[in-house]
Amino acid sequence: MGLKNLDSKSIDLLMMTYGWRKYTLEESVLAYEEKREDNYDHLKINNPGPEKNGRSDIRLISPEGGGITILRLNESRETFLPFDSLDAYARQIMVLPDDDPSRNSNPVIVEFPENTVYTDSAKLIKTGSIYFKPEFAFIANDTSVFNQDRAIMIEAVTIKGKQTIQKKYVDKNAEEFKYVNAFTLYNKDFKYVQTFEDILYKLHLYCVDKPAKKVYIRGALYFGGLRPGMFVVDNAPIYGQTYSPIAQMRTSEIASVTVIRGPQGFARYGNEASYGAILITTKIGNRLNGGIDPDDEANPGNPLLNQ
């Protein structure tokens, strides 16, 4: 039925009576091709979250190229980075923070590309001899950004070296009293102290009497009360149970300090060592006794040893 012989009022009455015809427009060829556009040639970047804390643009940098790419976000807070816009040498991309720290609270999400045609077909592949062959051919990019004419190929190279066995420094006092209630600190443990008197506060003694230059290694166990400990420097006892002669000895001259909490020093140093003893080994005395101090290996020519 044609509408040329009907006036406008009749057409309105006809449409109101029978209703509008429902129909679907066929997609044009151009729209269909745009719909099939592959989505694996670009990165999709979005910045979700509250808009007031969001960014207006996304800044990217490639360490290989060094150039900064600025991408404006659309109304959906999304943007796209085509791969062909990157430098030929780009291997990684970093997202730069916004100049306004408050806008960095919202995350920047990067959606990596996916060739849905390839992945959907690849899911149908079986592990057996019979498998579904995709209807497309995966075209690999054979081009290289490197000039192969200038490449230099070398044979396998073997690097040889002399292995040096690490020397472990063991103090003679620590070795002798290792089975009793004793412990040893070495020169590497004296980094932040200057004198021997400063070392005493690192030994966790019962009491340090600084005015009298005496130490009490353990508390009173008998009715006799507290008794000070004995000091021995390079096997030479300091009688009087005082550290006054070595109070200002520099820690750079000390190789190790051994603390004996029990009475085991009595057999060698007498009754004054019954209440504990502190054995000091200097670096010179340590070398004279055949010990090895790693800190002094760089200066083997000591004038005191070569006399």
pLDDT in tens, 216-233: 988 766 556 788 999 999
Mean pLDDT confidence for 154-164: 80
Confidence class of residue 166 from pLDDT cuts 50, 70 and 90? low
pLDDT of 163 above 60: yes
Q: What is the pLDDT of residue 105?
A: 83
Sign of the four-CA dihedral 146, 151, 156, 157: negative
pLDDT of 186 above 80: yes
Share of the chain above pLDDT 90, in %: 11
Mean pLDDT confidence for 262-286: 86
Q: Distance (Å, rounded) from C-alpha 74 to C-alpha 44?
A: 12
Mean pLDDT confidence for 80-96: 79
Q: Which amino acid is at 305?
A: L
Q: Between 124 and 202, whose confidence is greater? A: 202
pLDDT of 142 above 60: no
Q: Distance (Å, rounded) from C-alpha 307 to C-alpha 299?
A: 16
Q: Distance (Å, rounded) from C-alpha 247 to C-alpha 135?
A: 89
Q: Between 110 and 140, whose confidence is greater? A: 110
Confidence class of residue 2 from pLDDT cuts 50, 70 and 90? low
pLDDT of 146 above 90: no
CA angle 261, 262, 267 (to 5 degrees): 125
The pTM score is: 0.41
Q: Which of 5-9, 76-80, 260-264 has the lowest mean pLDDT?
A: 5-9
Q: Which of 26-40, 160-174, 256-270 has the lowest mean pLDDT?
A: 26-40
- The whole-chain average pLDDT of the chain stands at 74
Q: What is the pLDDT of residue 62?
A: 80
Q: Between 281 and 151, whose confidence is greater? A: 281
pLDDT of 18 above 50: yes
Q: Distance (Å, rounded) from C-alpha 221 to C-alpha 274?
A: 12
Q: Distance (Å, rounded) from C-alpha 225 to C-alpha 220?
A: 5
Q: What is the pLDDT of residue 52?
A: 79
User: Taking the mean position of all CA atoms in its chain, how far away is CA 65?
Assistant: 26
Mean pLDDT confidence for 39-61: 81
pLDDT of 114 above 50: yes
